[in-house]
Amino acid sequence: MKFGIIKFLASVFLANLVRLARFIPNNDPIMAFMLPVSKNEKAYKAFLFPFVTMVSFDIITGYIGVWTLVTALTYAGLGLFFSRYMKKRIENKKNIGLKNYLGCGVLGVLIFDFVTGVLATPFMFGMSFEQAFVGQIPFTLLHLASVSAFIVVLVPILDRHVLENSHLDDVKVLAFFKSLFVARA
């Protein structure tokens, strides 16, 4: 189970594709994608995946700015945190199942929304902490619902069909494409 460049780029692409679809309010699958990466990969990949996903999405949508840095670093920090947490659970021979992913997702949303919505918003947009806190409540409730739904739907797919799929390892994918071009020559 190697999270090489192919799986990394495919995961970033899929997370951004789901975000671009905007089929539900607060359409943010990054947490659902980040958690299996945090469980299965090295800490730097758990940091890099949400950071690259956030930055690339803002580049694609043309909204790159200070907010990009705040959200990307917050998600990346959560990736590191959950990587450490899940590695400890695995070391202690504890299983990480859907219930654990949901718990991590809820905690992650609460931390992310507090940092980005309650702490950062007043500094960036000139509102009071009270306004930011009260305004954040309905947003966070929607964020909790969407992340929970994404975890239930996407985590099993990402775990089984992307991260644990040896057919998507870099060497095999590159060999496949090489065979297509060699066969034509």
What are the domain boundaries of the chain?
5-184
- Binned at pLDDT 50, 70 and 90, residue 31 comes out as very high
| Between residues 175 and 39, the one the model is more confident about | 39
93 by DSSP, 3-state: which?
coil
| Between residues 177 and 86, the one the model is more confident about | 86
Q: Specify the CATH architecture of the domain 5-184.
A: Orthogonal Bundle (1.10)
Q: How far is the C-alpha of 30 from the C-alpha of 27, rounded, in Å?
A: 9
Q: Taking 60 as the threshold, does the pLDDT of residue 147 lie above it?
A: yes
At 66-104, the pLDDT tens digits run: 999 999 999 999 999 999 999 998 888 888 889 999 999
pTM of the predicted model as reported, rounded to 2 decimal places: 0.87
